[in-house]
Structure 1
């Protein structure tokens, strides 16, 4: 059953990623068609075509390698001209690459593509088309996080008492059971029972177990009145917290050991739906964290490679490949937890993947969407400068000249992706220790 659950988790993650890629390309496709650009292909994946069907002028299909997708628009670059000869000093290989890119681009301009080309659009429309894909991933992440936070909820310690310790055990001890001479816990001595719902502590109404714990921790060796609801009737109980070393979470989120008041009871944990803005807010915060990772991606990948070859543990907040994400999804699905916990975990993974796709595609390098946005903006700057200086319209920016740079970027992405895949196979992130 555990193996089957692991496989189901991986499959769900892969399908979710495929849907994310499909929606990303739809984010490009819809505005391109709305602006009149001829779109020849809409493909999910790369490599050999597994299935395709033409609707109107566009061929829709699925390819063998589900590692991305693309749409083929007419005239991503301006057509070739006799002035586009590449100087020999650039080297024959790069010259051939540029000419091949121009030849492929010219093919898309055949027929009615010449009057419906991407490069002919105003700058703003080109930017909208290229940002449509990443925007779709970010929107999907907002939806997934909203479902996770507001539809399912966040695990929260409620005011219902789940268990009461029989005695007080020293912090850090390996002892798990009470010995005859161990003192009774203040909660047990005060008459608190599992199932009691805490109403107030020391005269202050409490809505969460954290609020009750805060008052108790600040009152060591002082009698505290705890009012509980027991089977519909309210009971007023006297409890005197003992001073004990316990792990507490500070205002900065750090967990540290401190001497605080302790009574020896634990709360039941339930999923509590959060306000509708909490999920999107968490997605935005995570996007900020991913920006930091992407900014340092080559360094992070190098550190991952070092950890892999030296046998050191992986940074759980470091970059992952699709293999690593699938492995984590399998582990989440195979855990011995309620189904809602596993669903929430996989939703979190899919949401995080879409945030990563959103940020990654905004990197201002070709062939990524951010690179095409930069080319469009540069074209707009050239046109604006020509108008300001009262010159004629300049030729459109020919991004095929950047094909050698694009080639280097693609090679770098392949190397980093291969490194992460290897690391995720031989030195995976340990989600559950």
Structure 2
């Protein structure tokens, strides 16, 4: 129990550091471009600790579900005040102007030249991208250290275990042994043993697990299997069964393949830098895909709260992920080193999620501000091209009703995930 609590605390602190690291990216680049930053905060709600620097207040707040920096001049003034035009009216105008006024009240006369909206679009893009980039950088650093220093477990052609019989996965878990009448697996029937090294399949030399796996899946009927056992080579002749399995690389598509019935041993293989870049790129793509699928997960979360089985890949919040950290650290069937590596992998995956989520092009996320700056740059370049007057800064204040709506959706989703994490958490073991 102590290890569970320690794991939760350690991982929770890692999440807070990830949030602080994210906001540090915004803070450092804003100061680099001369933008006044009033606050740097980790968390929301009531301030439980703060310290005033030369011009920025640094602190921690009570609700540890995010963080922010407060830059002055996030919104430009109304066009009728700054550019001699009439501001358009809308049902949301009071909401927009209230937000604009709240921002304007933070600007003192001597700091009027240090406002965010006054900076060129490319500088604003850098400031807003710097936060998600810090999460990506941290994830890449963790994965690089693990993959290049520790290594990645890769299957070999040596046998780790042999299935004694063929039953459903559920039956194996429930009974732990072969039920009466269950047929022997082809591997057990042929005499394959723990520690056998498979060196040839149907007369073809075996050089890797991927080659062996493909050969088995593509074969049928009786095959020849050459193994090295106790320094001697033996040839076994198992008769493969046909099994319905996911297609390699396509988890949602199933095909009939050959089935032998054994699992390979794994050993750690240190990866090259190119392999790390490729794997991180794949993980970013998969993470983005999972984020796009978040709305589809709502029924599963509601069902989990109602008592249905929680899906293994169900969305989790800070509470759920921290509990996973506790489970990992307390898992006594793995070495302490392996447990720490798993926790680091999990922390890196969370940082990838923070990167991908914040890059969504909607306010109030960082990607929304980036999209606004890009649109402003396009408008201004087009105006110069056709010799029209400068349209001025893009008025993100007009999007505040949308930002409030998105915020409410995120809060509701976060509360849904929080309840699911408390009443029906995801478990690893």
What range is the shorter-chain TM-score in?
0.7 to 0.9
Query: 2:6 corresponds to which residue?
Result: 8
Query: 1:206 corresponds to which residue?
Result: 206
1:365 equivalenced with 2:362 (yes/no): yes
Give, in whole Å, the separation in 1 of the partners of 2:394 and 2:147: 45
Query: 1:27 corresponds to which residue?
Result: 25
8 Å Cα contact 1:41/1:73 also seen in 2: yes
Query: 1:132 corresponds to which residue?
Result: 130
8 Å Cα contact 1:245/1:257 also seen in 2: no
Paired residues in the alignment total 416
8 Å Cα contact 2:80/2:87 also seen in 1: no
- What runs of 5+ residues in structure 2 fail to find an aligned partner? none
Give, in whole Å, the separation in 1 of the partners of 2:99 and 2:254: 59
| Structure 1 residues 405 and 224, CA gap change in structure 2 (3 angstroms) | closer
8 Å Cα contact 1:5/1:334 also seen in 2: yes
8 Å Cα contact 2:45/2:63 also seen in 1: yes
Task: Identify the range of structure 1 (47-56 vs 359-368) with the bigger mean alpha-carbon deviation.
Answer: 47-56
Give, in whole Å, the separation in 2 of the partners of 1:388 and 1:246: 64
Give, in whole Å, the separation in 2 of the partners of 1:119 and 1:335: 51
Q: CA deviation at 1:170?
A: 4.7
Give, in whole Å, the separation in 2 of the partners of 1:280 and 1:415: 35
Task: Identify the range of structure 1 (170-179 vs 314-323) with the bigger mean alpha-carbon deviation.
Answer: 170-179
Give, in whole Å, the separation in 1 of the partners of 2:292 and 2:234: 56
Q: CA deviation at 1:21?
A: 0.9
Q: CA deviation at 1:129?
A: 1.0
1:374 equivalenced with 2:374 (yes/no): no
Give, in whole Å, the separation in 2 of the partners of 1:214 and 1:77: 58
- Correspondent of 1:101 among 99, 102, 115: 99
8 Å Cα contact 1:148/1:279 also seen in 2: no
TM-score (norm 2): 0.81
1:47 equivalenced with 2:45 (yes/no): yes
Query: 2:321 corresponds to which residue?
Result: 325
Query: 1:426 corresponds to which residue?
Result: 423
- Correspondent of 2:248 among 251, 256, 272: 251
1:290 equivalenced with 2:291 (yes/no): no
Give, in whole Å, the separation in 1 of the partners of 2:293 and 2:239: 48
Give, in whole Å, the separation in 2 of the partners of 1:29 and 1:396: 22
Give, in whole Å, the separation in 2 of the partners of 1:153 and 1:163: 23
Q: CA deviation at 1:11?
A: 1.7
Give, in whole Å, the separation in 2 of the partners of 1:247 and 1:162: 23
8 Å Cα contact 1:146/1:278 also seen in 2: no
Summarize deviations over 1:126-146 as a string: whole Å, max 9, x none.
111111111221222222333
Q: Aligned with 1:64: secondary structure?
A: strand
Q: CA RMSD in A?
A: 3.7
**Aligned ranges 1:3-402 → 2 under 5 Å:** 3-79=1-77, 83=81, 90=91, 95=94, 97-162=95-160, 169-171=165-167, 176=177, 194-195=194-195, 197-200=197-200, 204-209=204-209, 211-212=211-212, 218=219, 221-228=222-229, 230=230, 234-244=231-241, 250-252=247-249, 260=258, 262=260, 266-301=263-298, 303-308=299-304, 310-338=306-334, 339-402=336-399
Give, in whole Å, the separation in 2 of the partners of 1:82 and 1:224: 82
Task: Identify the range of structure 1 (138-147 vs 389-398) with the bigger mean alpha-carbon deviation.
Answer: 389-398
Give, in whole Å, the separation in 1 of the partners of 2:159 and 2:90: 77
Q: Aligned with 2:332: secondary structure?
A: coil
Q: CA deviation at 1:211?
A: 4.1
Q: CA deviation at 1:358?
A: 1.3
8 Å Cα contact 1:171/1:246 also seen in 2: no
8 Å Cα contact 1:298/1:416 also seen in 2: no
Task: Identify the range of structure 1 (381-390 vs 110-119) with the bigger mean alpha-carbon deviation.
Answer: 381-390
| Structure 1 residues 393 and 261, CA gap change in structure 2 (3 angstroms) | closer
Summarize deviations over 1:258-288 as a string: whole Å, max 9, x none.
68474x7654333333333334433322332
Give, in whole Å, the separation in 2 of the partners of 1:39 and 1:119: 13
TM-score (norm 1): 0.80
| Structure 1 residues 189 and 363, CA gap change in structure 2 (3 angstroms) | closer
Q: Aligned with 1:274: secondary structure?
A: coil
Give, in whole Å, the separation in 1 of the partners of 2:101 and 2:297: 38
